[in-house]
Structure 1
Amino acid sequence: MTGAFIVFEGGDRTGKSTQVGRLQAWLQGRGIEPVMTREPGGTELGQTLRRLVLDPASGDVDHRAEALMYAADKAQHVHEVIRPALAAGRVVVCDRYVDSMIAYQGAGRNLALGEVSDIAWWAVGGLRPDLTILLDANPDDAVSIKQDKDRLESAGLDFHRRVRQHFLDLAAERPGEYFVMKALQGRDSMAASIAARVEPLLG
């Protein structure tokens, strides 16, 4: 593999979209046109799956069915978008990846973590990011303030507390592959810290 694969992770309403956009602008300012993508929804198939898993109108989706839809999204996304871009030497920036499935569908839904992890990594063929940027915030200060919530955002604070803790546990297991930042602070200072951490990956 060539190129660089950078992933943003974290709970809902932690400012990921803002910082993804800031990193894109910073990379473009250095003459690098990154591939910007997201999960779920980074492919045509993924867009359909995203609607199914996030739309409150989907109703009572079985937790295992939900996990398998996320796995299908990831498999197609890696096949269609991420691996080809990396092979072409591109920088790929992805909003959510495997850790989100393990944290949300595993820890959040109280499914067996090892089984969910195995399915998720199998779906992506074992492709790991070069860097995962984890934006951490207390769900009481983040997702709880949103009014119009999707299926996962409306799962309750206990669910989101389990998700947050598991993100932190994953980062603690492989500290060299993660950059953990306190979210909900100054956007400019966060963007500068993220850029400084990403820069060594650019060769």
Structure 2
Amino acid sequence: MTGRFITLEGVEGVGKSTNLEHIKCRLAAAGIKLVVTREPGGTEMAEEIRALLLQPRDESVSEMAELLLMFAARAQHLHALIKPSLEAGTWVLCDRFTDATFAYQGGGRGVSFEWISTLEAMVQQSLRPDLTLLLDLPVEVGLERARQRSAFDRFEAEQQHFFEQVRKVYLHRAAQEPERFAIIDATPSIDRVQAQIDQVLFDKLGVPAV
């Protein structure tokens, strides 16, 4: 039996970390064996690539270099953690995956979606998430929340227009794949957000209420 692959997506400040922990606890309470990971990162090598990608720097970073580093980290992540876990019947919960690449590098940076799709096919072959939870709220609200956290990394320091494009691509992809995506309204209280998540986990994957 293969495990299920769940990804969590959204622009800055939507509450991914808080809700990732909620999903982790919900699945554990249901007796589901689970691995929690993130992108870029998730393995020792992929985390080293993450550090390269997120570190603010004076040198201008090529959009193609950024894209290839993202997929290099993803290839190692899949090889060393995600695929073995799924094959062993363990569920995988991942903070961001390839939808983020379409949104950030495609929408935000303007990289060709065709190029991203080509790399997706090469690196992932047929593997796709079983469920993608898209936490959504207006960009200005998310950025205001994000400002209350620690110092921004290289992506978080982008301007509002960048994140508007990111959100636009996320919503477009969700509209294209309604069976895989569930859009979670992240604007209300955390209890109401997590109630939406709980309902989706039951409806899409049969995870019982606790």
Q: TM-score range by the shorter chain?
A: over 0.9
Q: CA RMSD in A?
A: 1.6
Match of 1:181 in 2: 184
Which range is displaced more, 179-188 or 101-110?
A: 179-188
- Secondary structure of 2:100 counterpart: helix
TM-score, length basis structure 2 = 0.91
The 1-side partners of 2:76 and 2:141 are apart by 34
Match of 1:23 in 2: 23
Match of 1:34 in 2: 34
List aligned pairs for 1:27-176, cutoff 5 A.
27-57=27-57, 59-147=59-147, 148-176=151-179
The 2-side partners of 1:17 and 1:59 are apart by 30
The 1-side partners of 2:90 and 2:124 are apart by 18
* Structure 1, unpaired ranges of 5+: none
Give the residue type in structure 2 aligned to 1:2: T
Match of 1:190 in 2: 193
Change (3 A) 1:137 1:164: same
- Secondary structure of 1:179 counterpart: strand
Change (3 A) 1:168 1:67: same
- Secondary structure of 1:56 counterpart: coil
- Secondary structure of 2:45 counterpart: helix
The 1-side partners of 2:145 and 2:189 are apart by 18
Give the residue type in structure 1 aligned to 2:132: T
Shift of 1:122: 2.1
Give the residue type in structure 2 aligned to 1:201: L
- Secondary structure of 1:154 counterpart: coil
Shift of 1:31: 1.8
The 2-side partners of 1:146 and 1:17 are apart by 12
Over residues 46-74 of structure 1, what are the superposed CA-to-partner deviations in whole Å (9 max), with x where a residue is unaligned?
11111111110363211110000001111
Shift of 1:192: 2.4
* Number of equivalences: 203
Moved over 4 A (4+): none
TM-score, length basis structure 1 = 0.94
- Secondary structure of 2:110 counterpart: coil
